[in-house]
Each structure stands twice: as structure tokens, then as C-alpha cells.
Amino acid sequence: MAYDAGKPNENKQILIIGSGFAGLCMAIKLREQGIEDFQILERGDDVGGTWRDNHYPGCACDVQSHLYSFSFEPNPEWTRMFARQPEIKAYLEKCAAKYDLRRHIVFGANVQNARYDEATATWTVKTADGRSFSGRVLVSGMGGLSNPAMPNVKGLDSFKGKAFHSAHWDHGYDLSDKRVAVIGTGASAIQFVPQIQKAAKRVDLYQRTAPWIMPKPDREIGSRERRLYRALPALQNAYRTAIYWMLESRVLGFAVNPKLMTMVEGVARGHIKRQIKDPALRAKVTPDYTIGCKRILISNDYYPALAQANVDVITDDIVEVRANSVVDSAGNERVVDAIIYGTGFKAQDPMPRGTVFGNGGVDLLDAWKTGPEAYLGLSVAGFPNFFMLVGPNTGLGHNSMVFMIESQVAYVMDALRTMRKQKLRAVDVKPDAQVTFNESIQGQLSKTVWTSGCKSWYVDANGKNTTLWPGFTFIYRGKTRRFPATAYRLERDPATVTA
């Protein structure tokens, strides 16, 4: 059966995994083209992806909201330059409602594995509750940062107090007057630490690597300004464009000439100096690697929170967790009521072994012997009709992921058009196209600040950057504008081949 864009079909032609920014964008664009025969498999009970799961106190976006939203769905109602999680989640819910997507979503469908059958050119997806879904095309909108990572520390399970990860925040647990250990000082922790510091009796903040933090140019967007955006959408669009180019210019420092980062580092050092008076604390929070190597964070309230009397920044490694305490490498044992893990996500392991099986039943991880890689971050040789949104090497350290997602969705739409027009039942990227593409981006990545010698979730244990796009996002947009059929092995639908 050739892919037919027009006719609704009982057997869904397209399966989308996830209903965050990526999955919703895919669904909206399908519907805009009149394609209704798709289904979204969502493990949660609502839409929103990372913005549904992460609701810790202080959770907000670190990209300006005018840009961190769909280009085709501007929101004049943002109340801050950097919207907070409830507003972003509400925005995504509104998109789902406006484009009538919920009827396409199967909630509680926690994907266990997906298998491609070459004989029928069909993907079959099994969920944890034993259900099975099939479709010709499989689109992953699972995101790279959806599975929380826990530290590998002795005795973690023996802890008898309250413990949770930032992505599983327990708002029912009252932190007032509690002694709290926080592990990690990444993007999430620097947002929730200032919030819990106000309530908790003590905060022991375990910092393994100090992050570079810049001032956050946040402000309220008042009702007059919002009215203006409502009346003049072009004005908001112009603002969005200006933000895009401002953020895009950062590639010059990250990837073109890392020496430019010295200037940025000066601003970050000034931020520490202004906000922290105690020289010992200043020394502790000053990083010892080139700024930008790990994700640059933005905050105006993190350093002031660390300077409070009830916060202790501990730079000695954690060696053991006991029933009621945390022990560090200097031999200090600190009694705590709760441990909060701000330890991030399994970015290097986006699809664990046993999840995706392609031609010949090959596990995606066996195809990824040297780490995750894909052609344009979207297609993997041997995994026909499988497209990854936010796939390998398409993450960003400098601009809005929504821009990348829209580029990727446009590419998948063009792939679907090509399949329909050419009556194809399968498209499988050629191995040499994938190799050439990845050699090129790895070559570019080797000259960037991200490989300047720090340890970050951008790079794997062997020092290979499998997560970031190496440069300008408009270059990526250009590369994904059209589906390059010549880079793929094309399989005609036997039903359409005449003798």
C-alpha cells in the first residue's frame, strides 16, 4: 500500500511518539495538510513533554518565549520574557486544543519497543500495558532529555528520608524547616535552589563542577505591551526575529572562534563578583574551564541564594549516602531530611537498548557502536521510515530548540510527500550518506568550545559530541528544507509495480 496522504485509514499510517513540542508540531503540520491517519503515543496523561514533567519550583525556560514557541503560533500573552513552566505548558495545551489533536493521542501509552518488519514495511510499537500499534512511518518526538539520570553513589537506596529527582518533584512534601541535600548544580538546580532556600532550614548543595552563569535579561511583559502584540502581530514577529539573530550570533564564539568567549567570561566573572561578597564562596563557584564548554546558565537569584546563611556549597565528592545522612570525601557526614537530585538526564542514551529494532531485527544500539548518530539527526541507515525529531547532534547550546524541531518536521513532511508522489513504501537512508554527514559534523565539532576539555552531557565517555549541532541553525534549516531522495534507498510499493 503506497502512502496516501488524503484518505483517513483504520490502520494508522503514521505513529508519533510523544506529545511535547516535537510531537505536537508534527501532528499540527500533518493536520494542516489534511492528513488524519496518524496517532500520537504518549506515556503521560497530558500533553507537554518536558514542560509537563518538569514542574519544580522556579522552572522556567532559558530561551526568550517570543522565540521559544512555534513560528506559526505566536503567543502575544506571554507575561515574561522567559516564561515559567506553567505558562509554557498552558501554551502547548492550547495548541493541542486549537488544532484538535487530543483525539489523535493515546495517553498512558508508554512505548516499550518498536520493530520494523521488512516484509510488510510496517512498524509495530508495543506499549508497557501490552497494547500494540502499527504504522508505516514512525516519528520519534521523545526528546533527548526525558529520562532522569541518578548518580552512581554508594548507599543511595539505603536513605530513609524523602528523596526525589527534579523531574519528579513532590509538591506534597513540605520543605519548611527541613535539612535538604541538593545534588547537582545544572540548569534545573540553579532554578530550584533559590526557591527552596527560602523555605528550608538548611541546604547542603553538592557541587561537582561549577557552572558558568550569566545575568538573566528577564522582565515582566506588561498588559500594554501584550495588547500591542495582540494588535500588531508583525511587531512581535520582528522582536522574535531580533532575538533569533542575537542568539544565533553566539555561534561565533561557540563554534567559529572560541577565543571570543573570553569577553563572555568577563561578564560572568563580574556577575559572581557583584552577587557574592565572600571570597571563599566566590572561589568555590568560579569554574575552571572555558565558558560555553558546558551549557551556559542564566540566573539573577542563584548566587544571592548561595550567599545566604542557611546554604552550604560543598565541593567535596559524595562518597556515600546513609540512612539519614550524606558523607563526603573529606569525611564529613551531614544529617539531612531530604535529598533532591538535580542530576540531569540520560542525554547520551536517548533510546536504551531493546527499544528500537530495524532491518533484520537489529537493535538501534548495535547500529550505534560509536554512539548515537543519524543523517541530519533524523534518519539511521537500516531503520526505514523512522524519523527522529531532536535526534543525535541536533541539540543546541545557543538558540531555540523549537526552531530545530520546525526544520525537522518540514523535512519529514517532505519525505511523506515524496513517498506519496513516488508511490514508495519505504525510504532508508544510505549508509554512505550517513557516514559522510557525520564525518563532516564531527570535524566541525572538534574545533568548537564544546570540545575544549570539560566533562559535559554534550560529549560521551570517549569525548565524542553526539548531542549538539555544530553551528548556525539557519544552515540546518537549509539542509532540511527538502527531503533529499537521492540520499535514500527507495522501495517501490509492490502493489503499484506493473508487469
Contacts with ligand NAP, residue ranges (CB under 6 A)? 60-62, 145, 151, 153, 166, 183-189, 191, 206, 208-209, 295, 318, 342-345, 457
Query: Which one, 151 or 155, has the nearer CB to ligand NAP?
Result: 151
Task: Name the minimum Å distance from CB 189 to ligand NAP.
Answer: 6
Task: Name the minimum Å distance from CB 349 to ligand NAP.
Answer: 13
Burial class (CB in 10 A: 0-12, 13-18, 19+), 231: exposed
Residue 457 CB neighbours (<10 A): 19
Query: Which one, 39 or 343, has the nearer CB to ligand NAP?
Result: 343
Strand partners, 84: 60
Residue with the CB atom nearest ligand NAP in the bound state = 186
Query: Which one, 244 or 457, has the nearer CB to ligand NAP?
Result: 457
Contacts of 426 (CB under 8 A, 6+ apart): 121, 384, 385, 490, 491
Q: Are the beta carbons of 179 and 336 closer than 8 angstroms?
A: yes
Query: Which one, 167 or 378, has the nearer CB to ligand NAP?
Result: 167
Query: Which one, 85 or 480, has the nearer CB to ligand NAP?
Result: 85
Place of cell 563526603: 328
Task: Name the minimum Å distance from CB 271 to ligand NAP.
Answer: 17
Query: Which one, 95 or 314, has the nearer CB to ligand NAP?
Result: 314
Grid cell in block for residue 299:
540566573
Q: Are the beta carbons of 307 and 278 closer than 8 angstroms?
A: yes
Query: Which one, 1 or 281, has the nearer CB to ligand NAP?
Result: 281
Task: Name the minimum Å distance from CB 153 to ligand NAP.
Answer: 6
b/e map 462-475, b = 16+ CB within 10 Å? eebbbbbbbbbbee
Name all contacts of 151-155 with Cβ < 8 Å and 24+ positions apart. 151/183, 151/184, 151/318, 151/341, 151/343, 153/318, 153/319, 153/320, 153/321, 154/319, 154/320, 154/321, 155/320, 155/321, 155/322
CA 320 to CA 330: how far, in whole Å? Answer: 12
b/e map 178-214, b = 16+ CB within 10 Å? bbbbbbbbbbbbbbbbbbbbeebebbbbbbbebbbbb
Task: Name the minimum Å distance from CB 295 to ligand NAP.
Answer: 4
Task: Name the minimum Å distance from CB 65 to ligand NAP.
Answer: 11
Q: Are the beta carbons of 60 and 85 closer than 8 angstroms?
A: yes
Task: Name the minimum Å distance from CB 120 to ligand NAP.
Answer: 38
Query: Which one, 159 or 457, has the nearer CB to ligand NAP?
Result: 457
Q: Are the beta carbons of 64 and 87 closer than 8 angstroms?
A: no
Burial class (CB in 10 A: 0-12, 13-18, 19+), 296: buried
Task: Name the minimum Å distance from CB 166 to ligand NAP.
Answer: 6
Task: Name the minimum Å distance from CB 480 to ligand NAP.
Answer: 21
Query: Which one, 38 or 82, has the nearer CB to ligand NAP?
Result: 82
Task: Name the minimum Å distance from CB 228 to ligand NAP.
Answer: 26
Amino acid at 197: Q
Query: Which one, 349 or 493, has the nearer CB to ligand NAP?
Result: 349
Reduce the secondary structure of 26-84 to three states and give it as a string: HHHHHHHCCCCCEEEEECCCCCCCHHHHCCCCCCECCCCCCCCCCCCCCCCCCCECCCE
Task: Name the minimum Å distance from CB 460 to ligand NAP.
Answer: 13
Query: Which one, 20 or 344, has the nearer CB to ligand NAP?
Result: 344
Query: Which one, 15 or 389, has the nearer CB to ligand NAP?
Result: 389
Q: Which of 94, 99, 98 is nearest to 77 (CA)?
A: 94
Task: Name the minimum Å distance from CB 185 to ligand NAP.
Answer: 4
Report the DSSP pairing between strands 338-341 and 179-183: parallel
